[in-house]
């Protein structure tokens, strides 16, 4: 009897990897060989393009940055089709904007859009903080502390850029610890945009100090499993950044 009738099919559709059926019947655990090995050109092009865009420091200049389908296809050594599919996805994620018969352009977020993104991030992360107080393990929360072990004292001033990255990772970790995939996925795009803006954001020493203090308070609230307090702290921390951007980030626009 063919055990691979309909039951595994449902699973294979839901499972992301789903190439186990390729190997011989070898009655080992089928989970032994989820050999992914299926990064299509589309995904490769998507990843390559996204990396390129993120690494671009687009806020340095104000000139429009255009992406040429045909040229990119040549550079990648593939045809236009997968490049186009990658572009379409990047467009739906807000990284590029395609103008018919004109070209594809890298998107620069306006100051107001940045504020909106930070506000949305505040919404997601504050909910995530609630969930963390309810479901995360003590070890997971403890890992949050370690992220700041290297940033005590005055080392911060010398490594503001590094801190900026650790800062983003801290918040991203909280969202991941929530275990809510919808939250995680929604936040991922926001954080990617944040990383792009980060370079252009002027970080002052005292803001960093306050940021670290906020983070410590957040960690304490999470450890104490203080759901409401953690939520408020996380939200206000993010909204504080939004206000800061609103006041001082006139270099956007």
Partner DNA sequence: TGTTCATGGCTGGTATACAATATGCCAGCA
Partner DNA sequence: TGCTGGCATATTGTATACCAGCCATGAACA
Our finding on whether 12 is near a copy of itself (CB under 8 A) is yes
Our finding on whether 79 is near DNA (CB under 7 A) is yes
Q: What is the DSSP string of the chain?
A: --S-SSHHHHHHHHSSS--GGGS----S-GGG--------HHHHHHHHHHHHHHTT-TTS--S--EE-HHHHHHHHTS-HHHHHHHHHHHHHTTSEEEETTTEEEE----HHHHHHHHHHHHHHHHHHHHHHHHH--HHHHHHHHHTTGGG-TTHHHHTHHHHHHHHHHHHHHHHHHT--HHHHHHHHHHHHHHHHHHTTSPPPHHHHHHHHHHHHHHHHHHHTT-HHHHHHHHHHHHHHHHHHHHHH-TT--
Our finding on whether 183 is near a copy of itself (CB under 8 A) is yes
- The binder of DNA chosen from 54, 56, 98, 225 (CB under 7 A): 98
Our finding on whether 242 is near a copy of itself (CB under 8 A) is no
Our finding on whether 182 is near a copy of itself (CB under 8 A) is yes
Kindly state the tokens that stand for 36: 């992914």
Question: Which residue number, 30 or 138, has a Cβ lying nearer to DNA?
Answer: 30
Our finding on whether 34 is near DNA (CB under 7 A) is no
Our finding on whether 146 is near a copy of itself (CB under 8 A) is no
C-beta of 44: minimal distance to DNA in Å?
8
Could you say which of a copy of itself, DNA, none residue 107 binds, taking C-beta under 5 to 8 angstroms by partner kind? a copy of itself
Question: Which residue number, 42 or 195, has a Cβ lying nearer to DNA?
Answer: 42
Our finding on whether 16 is near DNA (CB under 7 A) is no
- The binder of DNA chosen from 40, 61, 135, 150 (CB under 7 A): 40
Note the residues at the interface with a copy of itself (CB under 8 A).
Answer: 1-2, 6, 9-10, 12-14, 18, 21, 38, 40, 62-64, 84-85, 88-89, 92-93, 97, 99-100, 102, 105, 107-108, 110, 113, 116-117, 119-120, 122-124, 126-128, 131, 180-183, 186, 190, 235
């Amino acid at each position: 009897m063919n055990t691979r009738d309909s039951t595994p099919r449902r699973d294979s559709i839901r499972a992301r990897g789903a190439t186990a059926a390729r190997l011989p019947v070898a009655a080992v655990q089928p989970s032994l060989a989820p050999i992914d090995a299926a990064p299509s050109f589309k995904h490769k092009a998507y990843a390559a393009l996204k990396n390129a865009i993120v690494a671009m420091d687009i806020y340095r200049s104000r000139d429009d940055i255009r992406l040429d389908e045909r040229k990119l296809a040549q550079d990648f050594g593939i045809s236009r089709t997968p490049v186009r599919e990658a572009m379409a996805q990047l467009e739906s994620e807000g990284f590029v904007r395609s103008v018919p018969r004109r070209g594809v352009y890298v998107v620069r977020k306006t100051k107001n859009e940045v504020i909106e993104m930070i506000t949305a991030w505040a919404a997601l992360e504050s909910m995530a903080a609630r969930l963390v107080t309810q479901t995360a393990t003590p070890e997971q929360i403890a890992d949050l502390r370690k992220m700041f072990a290297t940033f005590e004292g005055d080392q911060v001033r010398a490594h503001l850029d590094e801190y900026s990255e650790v800062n983003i990772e801290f918040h991203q970790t909280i969202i991941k610890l929530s275990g809510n995939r919808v939250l995680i996925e929604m936040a991922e795009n926001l954080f990617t945009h944040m990383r792009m803006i980060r370079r252009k954001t002027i970080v002052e020493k005292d803001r960093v100090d306050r940021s670290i203090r906020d983070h410590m308070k957040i960690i304490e609230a999470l450890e104490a499993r203080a759901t409401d307090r953690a939520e408020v702290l996380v939200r206000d921390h993010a909204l504080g950044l939004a206000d800061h951007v609103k006041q001082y980030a006139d270099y956007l626009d």
